Structure 1
């Protein structure tokens, strides 16, 4: 049975310096509060994994938590670049950042392979691109049945997979609905997993199209109302578009970013 923990307890127990961690969500249900708790606890030397790293990864990188980013696209959605990410790549500030770039399909298939217990995934999508020349984890492979030249990418098995969902019951069964990405695969592929939820309820109400993660695949659940903000949680709150716009000038300036770390992230600790 998944254990119900406080967010700070869960991060302290599950996330260690040097871990590979995936905080997944696709526009919706992004585990922002968990990312901020990782910053507060001062984790370092992390390999950050995500299909579409956005502002919470910008914040983790700017706080010096990361040594490597494994990804397929990165940006402030609807606004522009991730400036803390750019500063780390271009100027090694606050620490150098290694990158491993894949396509969306490649990342999704890597998670699926990890969830299935397979060593790698096979796809056609890299042919005709320059990514194989830039990324060591993209290799040609010949189909043993047809002789077709395909591409193999290694499975993703993060040390810790972190997602956000709407509800969990008291036994640790998790339910999410609305737009979902690779959250299920992330949990199944990871050695340890944390699901932050809007609320813990006595009983989950079946919903058409919902994704249910049973208690035996989840390590820990933390009740964190608003834990996806400024992204949104269908049925609970809308996306805070102004936050994404306001992040751009903050992230462009090291001084403003440092002030943001001291005030906003630490203020969240008091609020929780």
Structure 2
């Protein structure tokens, strides 16, 4: 009988994960919708001074603005840009409106269009059809939005023309999640966004988590496993790594930071001073979070809201 082989421990530091999986010129996906935004991953990419990246993110927000200011991003693929109801992204606006300090290539889709791109990429399909571009101006500014003739008759019996979007297959996807085991089985609750699709669409995937748990914890609650181990290349333990967004059950959204960001990013000198202090001036995200420890404790702490237990049953 062959001896059993222990499954691989995929835990890595953020520094090592970025060094291993992010290279100049790569297409890098950073996904997380409203909460679980992989901010710490973006900061480490800035620290390591990666260049000429194509960044794919449905809701391009503060972390993208920071990566732009860090000189990392040549091209942005997104379906929303903004400071999440709290204002503007100063660096992004300067790039798009005035090519200052240099232009930004921007490829725009609708939210549903981006979801379909991830789904096509995850399934290794050449495109995915959708109806939502009918009557929209987006096809006029984005030549990647095209029409094909359906091989099936429509309601009137005639072949139908329908819009399609191309797949997206990033070189690497980073997602943030609440917890994972050392093998990479990753559990998410609250808003789940398109994290699973973004992982499956990518050539490599790095999961950043608030905590690493024992295998038994994952097995006890299997339906929360949004991303299984076989799709994950590295697991990074990075508590508070989604700040200023929130991690459901761990800490709240830092609304004060979101409000302040419009003022910070509006002034290029102030923005670069912020990067010097909070990104380049910290060794890693643990040091960044340590500087904010009192703020997390006094303003971002959350109380319990337990979801109970589920009985899966077993044979008697």
TM over 0.5: yes
Distance 1:164 1:121 in 2: 26
Mark the runs of 5 or more structure 2 residues left unpaired by the alignment: 1-7, 154-158, 289-316
Report if aligned partners of 2:129, 2:165 keep a CA contact under 8 Å in 1: yes
Under a length normalisation based on structure 2, what TM-score does the superposition of the two structures give? 0.83
Q: CA RMSD for the aligned pairs? A: 1.4
Where does the alignment leave 5 or more consecutive residues of structure 1 unmatched? none
2:65–2:89 Cα contact (<8 Å) kept: yes
Contact 1:126–1:132 (8 Å) recurs in 2: yes
CA distance in 2, matches of 1:173, 1:268: 30
Quote the residue 1:266 is aligned against: 280
Tell me which residue corresponds to 2:55. 48
Match among 178, 181, 185 for residue 173 of structure 1: 185
Aligned residues: 272
Q: Which has the higher contact order (CA 8 A, sep 6+)?
A: 1
Aligned-residue offset at 1:209: 5.8
SS of equivalent residue, structure 1 residue 114: helix
Deviation string, structure 1 residues 79-122 (Cα, Å, up to 9, x no partner): 12211101111222333210111111100001011111111110
Equivalent residue number for residue 260 of structure 2: 246
Counterpart of 1:187 in structure 2 is 199
Higher-Rg structure is 2
| Among candidates 30, 37, 58, match of residue 30 of structure 1 | 37
Match of 1:164 in 2: 176
2-structure distance, mates of 1:253, 1:2:
44
**Matches of 1:61 and 1:150, distance apart in 2:** 35
Q: Does 1:143 align with 2:150?
A: yes
Instruction: Specify which of 235, 247, 262 is matched with residue 233 of structure 1.
Output: 247
Tell me the equivalent position of 1:152: 164
Rounded to whole Å, the distance in 1 between the matches of 2:282 and 2:254 is: 17
Larger displacement relative to structure 2 (258-267 or 99-108): 258-267
Secondary structure of 1:221's partner?
A: strand
Alpha-carbon contact 1:64-1:95 (below 8 Å) kept? no
